[in-house]
Amino acid sequence: MFVAAQPLVLFAVDRIVVVDADNSWAASAAALLDELCAALPSAWEQLEHIGSTSVPGLAAKPVVDLKAATPDLPYVVAAEGDALSPLGYLRLETGMTGRLFYRREAGVGPASSVAVHFHVVPSEGWATQDERLFRDHLLDHPEDAARYGELKRRLADEFDDPLAYTRAKTALIQEMVDRARSDRGLPAANVWED
């Protein structure tokens, strides 16, 4: 997750681990997306693999980020006990309004070798979600993906705190998201959500 409003401890961490890109991440994400479609087929208008694991060749933490657009956040909340919890998803409060965030630990279900962060947002504004724009920018600009990967490796060696690690990436992420938004004729927006 590269945006946060307030400190959020997702899991105990001895240190931040950034690993070489793994070709299995795309297949893991596809299996996870299929599982979510089957669990709540009427909930999602869009489901996508986002984050560093969605960019071939990019070093990343072994955490698959998924993002969904829904026309009805309360429906997802009401269905989570029957549909998402049995799959191992635990909803965590992030302090971000208009977003649900779920975490699934590695070792659960398909794609069990990776942990999962699952972001659910309202359908309106889907096209301008910064995580999606950032992913697409990295896919279209391999030189920026390389810069980002190098920064992540360096910061992983410097920080033990996930929030400090994430904050330290912000300037480069903001630069690239600003370019992605400008390329699409969108106004600049702060990548740190409230």
pLDDT tens digits along 109-128: 666 778 999 999 999 999 99
Whether 166 shows a pLDDT value over 80: the answer reads yes
Question: Are 53 and 81 in contact, with CB atoms under 8 Å apart?
Answer: no
Residue type, 147: R
How confident is the model at residue 97, as a pLDDT? 84
Handedness of CA 167, 151, 158, 53 (dihedral sign): positive
Whether 131 shows a pLDDT value over 90: the answer reads yes
Whether 105 shows a pLDDT value over 60: the answer reads yes
How confident is the model at residue 7, as a pLDDT? 35
All domains of the chain in start order, with CATH: 24-183 (3.30.460.10)
Q: What percent of the chain has pLDDT over 90?
A: 81
Name 25's bridge partners: none
How confident is the model at residue 14, as a pLDDT? 56
Q: What percent of the chain has pLDDT over 70?
A: 90
**Over residues 58-77, mean pLDDT:** 96
Per DSSP, the residues of 103-171 read EE-TTSSTTTTSEEEEEEEESTTGGG-HHHHHHHHHHH-HHHHHHHHHHHHHHHHH-S-HHHHHHHHHH
How confident is the model at residue 110, as a pLDDT? 61
Question: Are 180 and 134 in contact, with CB atoms under 8 Å apart?
Answer: yes
Confidence of residue 193 (pLDDT cuts 50, 70, 90): low
CB 146: neighbour CB atoms within 10 A? 14
